[in-house]
A and B are shown apart, each in its own frame.
Chain A
Amino acid sequence: NAGVMQNPRHLVRRRGQEARLRCSPMKGHSHVYWYRQLPEEGLKFMVYLQKENIIDESGMPKERFSAEFPKEGPSILRIQQVVRGDSAAYFCASSPRQSDTGELFFGEGSRLTVL
């Protein structure tokens, strides 16, 4: 049973370009979460999605960032017109359903470097 798959593992972009990060949840999981980790920091919640629905995007920056989880295919975190401050590790996590345990299964992360 494959775990949470993220790609690319490493992505380099120049300022002003777009970054797309993909996440395939664990088999049987329908809930996806995106977190961002800045250097020397813990993970910060960005967005929580179910298939075709954004449930909670309270951690998403108001501009340039968007996320989707279509009926078919992986979840995508999209960052438009990247700036150097977007350089970070972006982690995706999944869970089988909403539960009160809070346990999430994380991918290996996608490291974005903005030149």
Chain B
Amino acid sequence: AQTVTQSQPEMSVQEAETVTLSCTYDTSENNYYLFWYKQPPSRQMILVIRQEAYKQQNATENRFSVNFQKAAKSFSLKISDSQLGDTAMYFCAFPQGGSEKLVFGKGMKLTVNP
């Protein structure tokens, strides 16, 4: 079975700090995509960043970057220069069996304090 594990249920940081959210997964697939989604208090699911497993280069989107370790099946999200608007639940996810059937982790609640 394909699973996604987010071991940190909650984190709190000060504005402008850097924070890393961890995610591990288990799959027998070789080529796949990995995603981090953000769910702010409005509850809408917003795609933060996507990583292609066959690419060695880590994905970066402005203040968001990933540390993808394929052999270790680890996919962590780094948020630099944290902002108050980053306060949200963050979910790691990847498609099951190469389909659009996303498997989500349980999420991590990030609070950015002023």
Residues of A within 8 A of B (CB): 31, 33, 35, 40-45, 48, 56, 58-59, 89, 91, 93, 95, 98-109, 111
State whether the Cβ of B11 lies closer than 8 Å to any Cβ in chain A.
no
**Residue from the list A41, A43, A108 in contact with B102, Cβ < 8 A:** A43
Chain A proximity of B85: nearest CB distance (Å): 17
User: CA–CA, A98 to B100, complex, Å?
Assistant: 7
Encoded as 1 (CB less than 8 Å from any A CB) or 0, chain B from 48 to 60 comes to 0010000000000
Decide if B95 touches A102 in the complex (CB within 8 Å).
yes
**Residue from the list B4, B43, B94, B107 in contact with A102, Cβ < 8 A:** B94
**Residue from the list A56, A93, A103, A109 in contact with B99, Cβ < 8 A:** A56
User: CA–CA, A40 to B39, complex, Å?
Assistant: 12
Decide if A48 touches B104 in the complex (CB within 8 Å).
no
Residues of B within 8 A of A (CB): 4, 31-33, 35, 37, 42-47, 50, 91, 93-96, 98-107
Chain A to chain B contacts (Cβ below 8 Å), 26 pairs = A35-B102, A41-B107, A42-B105, A42-B107, A43-B91, A43-B104, A45-B102, A48-B101, A56-B99, A56-B101, A93-B45, A95-B100, A99-B100, A100-B33, A100-B95, A100-B98, A101-B33, A103-B33, A103-B47, A104-B102, A108-B42, A108-B43, A108-B44, A109-B44, A109-B45, A111-B43
User: CA–CA, A31 to B93, complex, Å?
Assistant: 19
Chain B residues with CB under 8 Å of A33's CB are 100-101
Given contacts A102-B94, A108-B43, A109-B44, contact A41 B100 (CB under 8 A): no
Q: A31-B100, A98-B99 are in contact. List 17 more A-B contacts (CB 8 A).
A: A40-B106, A41-B106, A41-B107, A42-B93, A42-B106, A43-B45, A45-B101, A89-B43, A98-B100, A100-B33, A100-B95, A101-B50, A102-B33, A102-B102, A103-B35, A106-B37, A106-B46
Decide if A103 touches B50 in the complex (CB within 8 Å).
yes
User: CA–CA, A48 to B16, complex, Å?
Assistant: 40
